[in-house]
Amino acid sequence: MIFLSQIPFIRILLPFLIGIGFWLIGKQNAPPLICVTCVYIACAAIYFLLIRKTQTATKFLFGLTVQVFLFFSGWLLCNYANEKQNPINYTHFLTDNIASYSGYISEIPIEKTKSVKAEITLQQIKLKDKWQNTCGKIIIYFEKTDKTKTLEIGNSIAFKGQLQEIQNPLNPHEFDYQSYLRLRNIYHSVYLKEENWTTYNNEKTFSLVSLSQKIRKQLLDTYRASGLEQTEFAMVAALVLGYDDEIDRPLMNAYSHTGTLHVLSVSGLHVGIIYLLLGYMLSFLNRNKTTTWIKVFIIIAVLWFFVLLSGFSAPAVRAAFMFSLILLGKTLFEHVETANIVLVSAFFSLCINPFWLADVGFQLSYIAVLGIIYLYPFFYNMFIFSWAFADKIWALCAVSMAAQLATLPITLYYFHQFPALFLITNLVVIPISIVVMYGGILLLLFSKITFIANILVWVTAILIKTMNACALFFDSVPFCVIDGIHLSLVNVILLYVLILLVFISIEQKSFKVLMSSFVLAVIIVCVSICFDLQTKTNKELVIYQSDKTNALAVFLGNKYTQVSDTIPDDRLQSAIRENKIYHDVVFENNVQLTNTSLILVNHKKILFSKNVNLLTENFIGAVKPDYIWLAGSSIKKIEMPKFICDQKNVIISGKVWNKKNFDCINNSYLTIKQGAFVLKGF
C-alpha cells in the first residue's frame, strides 16, 4: 500500500490512540491496566510475527517495546489529564464542613432564561474557618438579578452552597451531559441565589485563556453596538469568533439538515480560509529564504491571534496547530507528505489534551482533512474543464464530496442523518459565509469609523439574511435530509475498511482488493439485516423522566406508540428521537394522555393518574393494575394516601416536591433518581 508507506507516523500514532481509547472506553472502570496491557502485547506480538520484516528477534522486540511504550503513554496521559488525580482537587474535600469556596470566572457568562451560567475555576475552600488551596472547575447557575449583570471574565468570587454532582442521563439513549463535562474535568454544579455569592476584590485573575475571553467579550460588545439585529449578530459572532450560543434552534437545525453546520463554528474551515488568504496575499515574499521565513512568521502569528480571538476554542487550536505544522514542514523540507504532518499534529494535539479524542469535532476535522488529501484528487480528475470558473466550481464540489465521504460513517453514527443536498448547499453557503467572515473582521477593524462601519453592517446583514434564507429554503425542500439512520459502531468500522479497500483497489488497480471490498459490502448488508431482524422481535415499554411532560412509549418491533399529556420539551424530544432511531421505528402512533388513564400493553395494565385524589382503594382493587404510574406534580401539595404507599408497583415520574411524602415513596420507583422505567420482553 503506497499511501501507507508515505505516512510512517501512523505506526506511532496508532498505539497511542489505542491507549487513550482504552482509557476513554473504560472511564476508569475498565480492567486493571496490567490486564489491558497484556491483551495489547499479545495482539501486537501476533501482528509482528505475521509480517515478514520482523523475522529477526531484535526487530521483533524493538517494535513490540515501542508499541507497548506508546500504548502505556496514551493510557497514563489520560490519568495525568484527569484532574481528579490531583490530591488538592476539590472533589477530595466534599464534606459538610466546607463553609465557602472561592475562585474566578474562566469563561464568558451565558445568560439563560432564569439564570446566568458561568464556569468557575476554584482556587480555595474554607474548612473549619481556615482557607486552603484547591483546584478544579465547576458550573455555577446564578440567580438572574441586576447583580449578575456585573459578572465578567476573570472576576474573583466567593460563595457558599451545596455542590450537586452532574446528573447521569435519565432516559435511554439521552445525550450523556455528565460524560461530556467529565472530559472537561467538570463534575459538579451549584445554583446560587443573590445573597450567597459576592465578588471579593477588584483585581481580575490573569491567565492567557481569561485574557482571550476578555478580548472576545469586547469584540462581541463591538458587534452588539454596531447596529446588527439579533439574528445577524448571532451569525457573525459564530462565524468570526465561534460564539454560537445565541443562534436560534430552528436556524441551527436548518444548517444541520443542509450539511453546512460547520460554517457556524470556528473550525478548520475558517482557519484554512485565513491560511490560504494570507498565503496568497504574502506570495510576493517568496523571493529568498529570509523573506520566506518572514512570511511564515506572519502567517503563524495571525493564525494564533485568530485563535486568541476565538477564546482558544478547541477546534481553532487544533486547526491552527495543524496548519502551522504544514507551513513549517513545507518550508523546511522540499518534499513533505501533508498527511504525515496532519498525523503529527493529531499526536501533539492529543498530548495537550488526550480527551479530545472523544470529541466529535476532533474526529470529524482530522478525518475530513485526510479525506480531502487522498480522495479529492480522484474526484477532481473525473472531469476536466477548460473554463477557469467552471474548474473552480468543480474543485469546490470535489472538496465537498471528499470531505463528506470521509466523514460519512461518523456523521451517520452520531447524528443519524445524511444531508442529501450537501453539494448544492455547500456551493451556495460556503462562498457567502467566507465573505461574511471577511466583512465581520473588517467591521471590527473599522468599528470606530462610523461611515465605513455602517456600510459594512448593511452589506454583512444582507449577506447573512441571504445565507439564512438559502439554508431555510433548502431545508424546506422535500428529502433535503435523510433522517433516522441507525449505524452501529461495528458498521462504522466496517464502512471505513470498505472505503479504504476501494481506495487501495483504485490506487493499485487490483481486482482482488476490489473483490474483497465487494465481499465486505455484502457482510455490512448482512450485519444490517441481522440488526433489523433483531429489532422486529424487540418489546420494550418506557416511562420517561421529564419535569414537564408525562410520556410513555411502547416499542413492538419497529412499531412505536407514544402516550403523553403535552408536547415534550427539546431535551425529552431529543431522547425520544434517539430511542426511536435505535429501535429502527417505521410506524408511529401518538395518543393523548388524560388526567386518569388505563393503558393496556400486551396484557399489562398501567394505571396513570395526574391527580392522586382521583384514585380510591376500591377502584385500584377493581382494576388490579400491574403498575400505578403517578405524575410527580400530582403529589406536589398533597400527602399520599396510605393505600397508595402500601403498593409496591408505583412509578412516579417527574419531580417529587412534597417532603411529607418522602417516607411514603421509598418503595416506589422514582424516575428522578433511578432514571426512566424500562420494561423489556413483556
Mean pLDDT of successive 10-residue stretches along the chain, which has 682 residues = 66 86 69 60 62 60 76 86 88 79 86 87 86 91 87 86 89 89 91 88 61 79 86 85 79 84 71 79 82 88 82 78 84 79 88 89 86 86 83 85 88 88 86 86 86 89 91 87 83 87 81 83 84 80 90 89 87 89 86 87 87 81 87 72 78 75 73 89 75
Q: Pairing mode, if any, of strands 164-165 and 137-143?
A: unpaired
Answer positive or negative: Cα dihedral of 217, 219, 225, 230. negative
Cell numbers representing residue 324 in the block: 502551522
Distant-in-sequence, close-in-space partners of 271: CB < 8 Å, separation ≥ 6: 303, 306, 307, 316, 319, 320, 323
Single-letter residue type at 286: N
Cell numbers representing residue 402 in the block: 471528499
Give residue 147's pLDDT. Answer: 86
User: pTM of the prediction?
Assistant: 0.82
Give residue 658's pLDDT. Answer: 61
Distance, CA of 50 to CA of 40 (rounded, Å): 15
With residues binned 3-state (H G I as helix, E B as strand, rest as coil), the percentages for the chain, rounded to 5, are 60, 15, 25
Residue with cell 442521563: 169
Cell numbers representing residue 416 in the block: 443519524
Cell numbers representing residue 534 in the block: 433483531
Distance, CA of 455 to CA of 573 (rounded, Å): 42
What 3-state DSSP class applies to 383?
A: coil
Cell numbers representing residue 105 in the block: 470566572
With beta carbons less than 8 A apart as the criterion, state whether 658 and 638 touch. Answer: yes
Closest CA to 12 of 67, 90, 77, 75: 67
CA atoms within 13 A on the CB side of 231: 14
Give residue 677's pLDDT. Answer: 92
Residue with cell 435530509: 481
CA atoms within 13 A on the CB side of 373: 18
Single-letter residue type at 402: A
With beta carbons less than 8 A apart as the criterion, state whether 376 and 400 touch. Answer: no
Give residue 657's pLDDT. Answer: 64
With beta carbons less than 8 A apart as the criterion, state whether 121 and 152 touch. Answer: no
Helix axis angle, 360-380 relative to 314-332, nearest 10°? 50
